[in-house]
Structure 1
C-alpha cells in the first residue's frame, strides 16, 4: 500500500499529465477558494502561457476547487513591484521576474538570468535537480518573507529591437536602450545608456525616439508588443539574457492556510506551466525570424567580440557581487558546482554533423 505522501504525488502527477495533454481531470465543481494574482504584464505570452495557463492548471488539478483570478500589470500595484504587492497582502500571489528585485538584493538575477548565466536547459536542470529551486525558496523567504517557485521560463532573448543597426562594441556606445536587472550596470560598461521602464511603456518610447532600442523577451514573445512596427533592426542573440526564469510569489499567510495537498497542487501547476512555456517558446522562436523579415525588419547577428565581452563582464560582475553578499555567494557557488558537473555534457549529449562543424 502506498503511503499518503507517495499516493498524493502520484495522483497529482497523473492529473498534471492530463493537463499537459489537454485532457479533463474530472468533473468540475464550484470554487471553494479564490486567489488574487498580481502580474507584471498587460498581455502577450507571459500572460497567456504564463499566468493564465497557471490559473487554468490550478483549476484543472483541483477539479475546480481552487480558482486564481489573474490581474494585468498595474491593476493591483506597480508592474515592476509585484513582490511588494504580494508582501503587503494586496494580492494573494503574483507572477513576476525575480530580477526586478535586484536593487533590493542582486542575488535576484542569479535566479532570473544575466549575462553570465548558462542556457535554459542547464538552468532547468539546476533548478529542478541541482538544488536551485530549494535555494530560491530559502532566499525569497529569508530576504522578502515570500513563498516562491519557478513559473514560466524563456529561451535566450532577442538582444535588441533597435531603430539603429547594432553589430559591434562601437555601435553600442551611447545607445539608449531599455533593460532591467544586472544588464543595467553591465551594458554601461559596454558604453550603452540604459534605462528601465515597464513593458507597457516601451512601444511608445520607441515610437517617439525616447529610446533607441529595447530588449524584452524572446523572438516569439516580442511579436505581441509589436516592437517590429517602430524599429527596423532585430539584433540576435540575447547575450544579456541566455535564459530567463520567472516566478510565482505567494503571501506566506495564504500559503500556510492551504492544506499540504493544495500546496502540492500549486507546485505541480507551476511546474507544468514552466515546462510547457519552454517547449512552446522554443517552437515559436524557430518561426519568428521569418516573420520579422516578412515585416521588413533586418536581422543582425552580433559580432563575436560583443558576445565574448558580455559574458566576460557578466562573470566579472557576479564575482564582484559575491564578495560582499553571502546569499549571492551561496547561490553562485551552487551554479558554479553545477556547471563543473556538466562541463563534459556537450561531448556525450551532442552529435556532430556537417551542419554543426
Structure 2
C-alpha cells in the first residue's frame, strides 16, 4: 500500500496537466489576430436600433474574441463626415466603417435596394430570408467588389414612418412645393410630385425643421425618430412607411483588411454582426411601440396615408424603379431578384401571419 497516494494530496501529474492546458489556452489566445480598428460611423450610436447596432457589434466581438478584436467606433464627424464612410474605407484610410448604405445611392444606385429596399418591397422577414438564403448577400458583395469592400449586414429595422409634416397631406397637390428630407427612391417619388429634396444627416434634422430649412422630413423608425425629438418641431406624423418596408445597416470592411484576417477572426466579426442584426430588430420593435404610445400621450397628430395616396405613390414608384433599372444593370439585377423573392414569399407573407 506504500504506493497509494494519500487522499486529498494533489498529484504532480495533475499540476503538470493544468500548467500545460493553461499554456495551450494562453498560446491559442496569443496566436489569434490582434485587431485594433478605428471605425467611423454615419449615424449617432445613441439612435435606438439604427445607431446602436455598432455598440452591440463592438461589445460582442470583443467578448467572443477574448479581447483580441476591438472595433472602436467614432461618432459622425469625429473622424470623417457622415457621408464619407464609404470613400474612407474604400481608399484604405480606415479598415472599416458602419453606415446606412443608402447615403451612397447617388454613386451606386443598387444601394437604394440593398439599404432600404424598393418602395412597397420586402418586409424584414422576407429580406432576411432573401439575404441569407437567397441572392441577397451574393449581390451585396458583387455591388461592393469594384470598390474594394467586403460588406456585412449588421443591423435591420422594420418599416420606417411615413414622414413628419407641418401641414396635412391629403393629396399629391399638398406635396408640391415642400422642402423635404426624404431619402432613397421615396425621395425621388416626392420630387416628381413637386417637392424639393434635401438629403440631410439625421443629426441635422431637428434644427433644419426648427429653422425652416425644410418643411418636412422622414428619418427612420418611430423609435429612432423619437430619439431626436422630431415631434417637437413638426405637427403631423404619417404612417405607413411605404417607401421603406425595412431598413438595413452595414459594416463596410476594406477588402484587403478583411483578407488579412484569419478565418477565426472573420467568423467572429460575421457572427457578431448577425447578433447585432437580430438585436437591432428586437430593439426597434419594442421602441416603435413605445414611441407611438408616447406620441399619443403627447397629443401628436398621427395620421394614415389614404389608399388613394398610397396607390399614387405605388404607381409613381414603379415608374421610377423602371427608369433606374433601365439606366443601371446592377440595379436591374438586384430589383429583379427582390421581386422574384417577393413572389415566392407572397402567400406566406400575406396569409401566414395573424393580422
Structure 1 runs not aligned, ≥5 long? 1-25
Aligned to 1:36: 38
Q: Do 1:116 and 1:312's aligned partners in 2 also have CA atoms closer than 8 Å? A: no
Point out the more displaced range, 173-182 or 57-66: 173-182
Q: Do 2:50 and 2:155's aligned partners in 1 also have CA atoms closer than 8 Å? A: no
Q: Do 1:116 and 1:315's aligned partners in 2 also have CA atoms closer than 8 Å? A: no
Distance 1:324 1:179 in 2: 22
Q: Does 1:124 align with 2:146?
A: no
Q: Does 1:322 align with 2:320?
A: no
Q: CA shift at 1:193, angstroms? A: 2.0
Q: Does 1:154 align with 2:143?
A: no
Q: Do 1:168 and 1:302's aligned partners in 2 also have CA atoms closer than 8 Å? A: no
Dislocated runs of 4+, deviation >6 Å: none
Aligned to 2:345: 342
Considering only CA atoms, is the larger Rg found in Structure 1 or Structure 2? 2
TM-score normalised per structure 1? 0.86
- The DSSP-based 3-state class of the residue aligned with 2:334 is helix
Q: Do 1:94 and 1:250's aligned partners in 2 also have CA atoms closer than 8 Å? A: yes
Structure 2 runs not aligned, ≥5 long? 1-24
- The DSSP-based 3-state class of the residue aligned with 2:251 is strand
1:130-153 deviation line (CA, Å, top 9, x unaligned): 1201210121113x2211021111
Q: CA shift at 1:164, angstroms? A: 2.0
1:27-74 deviation line (CA, Å, top 9, x unaligned): 9x8993211111112331256531111111111221211001010011
Q: 1:269 aligns with which of 245, 251, 272?
A: 272
Aligned to 1:21: none
Q: RMSD in angstroms over aligned alpha carbons?
A: 2.1
Q: CA shift at 1:221, angstroms? A: 1.1
Number of residue pairs matched by the alignment? 325
TM-score normalised per structure 2? 0.86
1:112-145 deviation line (CA, Å, top 9, x unaligned): 1242422222111111111201210121113x22
Aligned to 2:143: 139
- The DSSP-based 3-state class of the residue aligned with 1:95 is strand
1:79-133 deviation line (CA, Å, top 9, x unaligned): 0121011112222111111211111121111101242422222111111111201
Distance 1:70 1:315 in 2: 38
Closer/same/farther in 2, CA of residues 77 and 46 from structure 1, 3 Å limit: farther
